Structure formats: structure tokens, C-alpha cells
Structure 1
Amino acid sequence: MSTNPQTSPPAASTSTVAIMLLIDAVLIVIFAIIGVSSHDGDLGILNIARVAIPFMLPNLLLAVAIKPGQLIHNVFPTGIALWLITVILGPVLRAIMFGDSSAMAFILVTAGVLGVFLIGRRIISTLVNRRQKNA
């Protein structure tokens, strides 16, 4: 009996999932570094953490709830959901944790940058995975 690859996510090792979670976290830190450097200029660890942590928390919490195979390569709906939840809850947590407000321009830039980073990473990993399977 064969399984339909469209409905069954690829098997994922624990180390692969951990690496992909780490890559997502690094991408969020890069987003924070870009933001801090373009506004404040002070790239101290606390300034970067103040921007990154509110976006990392919803991303990591949702990632824990997702099946590992879907976390790695699945662009839709998993990647889109992770991106949307991160973009929506990040500014909310930023306001709650640090009292920082988020202008609409910030939210739009956040959505764009994290969309390219988080969804783009999944597209790239999907293409690499397909290429490895076909090789």
C-alpha cells in the first residue's frame, strides 16, 4: 500500500527539525538586526533581543504544535500559518512585554521581511528536498 505524497508529510529526523527551527530563529534574529540597525543603530544584544523575542515566541510555540514533517517543507498551510501568527502576535507581544507600539509601516515591513524569510526558507528547503530525491 502506497501513501499519497500530497497528504503525507515527508519523514523528518529530530536533527533535521532542530536545524530548521534554528534556521527560522536565526532568520528572525536577522530580521531584528536589520530593523535595529536601520532605526536605532545600537546593535547591542539587548536591543536585538527586544525586537527578536516577541517574534520568536509565537513562531516557536506554534512550531512545537506542528507535526515535524510539516514544519520543514510545508509552505501551505503550515508555513503560511507560522508566518501569519508570527506577524500578528509579534507586535502584540512587543507591546505587552516592552510597551513598544507598532506603526502600520512597521507591521507591513515585518510581514514582508518575515514572509520572505520564513516562507522563502520553506520553499528553498522543499526545492532542495525534491532535488535530492530526484538525484
Structure 2
Amino acid sequence: MRYVPALILDALFVLVFAVIGRASHEEDPGGFLITAWPFIVALLLGHLIAALLPARPRRPWSLGWGAVVWVVTVIGGMLLRIVSGETAQTAFIIVATLVLGVFLVGWRAVAALLRGRAARTRDERDAATGGAGPDATAAGDPIAGEPDPSDSAPHREADAASDPEHPTS
């Protein structure tokens, strides 16, 4: 279930990409699903690939996960467009790559910054109270809204070398 919020947010960004693209070409924005479907299908495949990679990123809101989803969404979406008889001109490929990169990786970068800030605040509070604060034992998951048991202090220290996207300080 922890994958669902990231998948939904990514799908919303792909839909926004399609609406903006159609509107910028003065096409009917209501037909955005025609533009979006290849990228939505590729997005689902991207999440599946990210989840199944042997050395995969562990969290769907991590930058590594987002990079896998982004690359698969762009390449898969373009291939599906071509196979279905649509065009994939160079300018469209460049714009789609940049916009989807900002959308699919960008929100994860913001989340990483917020998690880092929350961890620093929690560490400062724990240092001031001797670690006896109400949140001293579990870190919250800002995306799913629930505690992430793999984010406890011993795991953070053990994962520091293997997960540079999850700061411990």
C-alpha cells in the first residue's frame, strides 16, 4: 500500500502534463486522455520495474525510484505513441523529457528536502530533551501519512552508506 500515494501523485502529474500540452497547442484540453494514455501505461510499468529491480530504491518517494519511473515513462510513452500511430517529433520528446523529469523527480526532491528538515528538527528536539520526546522512536512518512518502521534510528545508521537519499543528520 505504501506505493499507492506515489503512484497516484505521479499519475496526476502525467495528466497535468497532457492537459498543459494540449492547451499550449490550442487543442481541446478535454481530449487529454488521448495524449496521456501512453504515458500512464508506461508510468505503471515504471513503478513495476522500480519495485522489482534487484538493487532497487526501497521507497517509492525516493529520488532513485523517481528516476527509474521518469526514464521508463518517457521512453515507454514515446514508444507507445509511435506504435499507436501518433507522432513523436524531436521537440516533443525534449519537452516531454524535461517536463516529466521536473514533475516525476521534482516532487520527490522536495519531499527529500522536507524529510531532511524534519529529521534535523527531530534530532535537535531529541538532543534538547535527551531523546524522550513523543516522536523519539518512530519517524513519520510524510507521503503516506503513517509511521515507517524501517526508518528507526538503528536502521537509519545501518542504511546511511547504502541509501544516500535518506539523510541521517
User: If the length of structure 1 is used for normalisation, what is the TM-score?
Assistant: 0.77
Determine which of 93, 96, 99 is the counterpart of 1:110.
Answer: 96
Structure with a larger share of its residues in helix: 1
Computing the radius of gyration from Cα coordinates, the structure with the larger value is 2
- 1:70 is paired with a residue whose SS is coil
In structure 1, the partner of 2:86 is: 100
1:34 aligns with 2:20: yes
Q: Is structure 2 residue 49 aligned with structure 1 residue 60? A: no
Higher relative contact order (CA 8 A, sep 6+): 1
Work out which of the residue numbers 40, 43, 50 in structure 1 matches 2:34. 50
Structure 1 match to 2:167: none
User: Which segments of 5 or more consecutive residues in structure 1 lack a partner in the other structure?
Assistant: 1-13
**Is the CA contact 2:46–2:70 (under 8 Å) kept in the aligned structure 1?**
no
Matches of 1:21 and 1:62, distance apart in 2: 10
C-alpha deviation, 1:131, in angstroms: 2.1
Give the counterpart letter for 1:60 in structure 2. Answer: L
Provide structure 2 residue ranges, at least 5 long, that are not aligned to the other structure: 52-56, 122-169
Give the TM-score, by structure 2 length.
Answer: 0.63
Q: Is the 8 A contact 2:45 2:72 kept in 1?
A: no
Q: What CA RMSD, in Å, does the superposition of the two structures yield over aligned residues?
A: 1.7
Identity %: 34
8 Å CA contact 2:61, 2:111 repeated in 1: yes
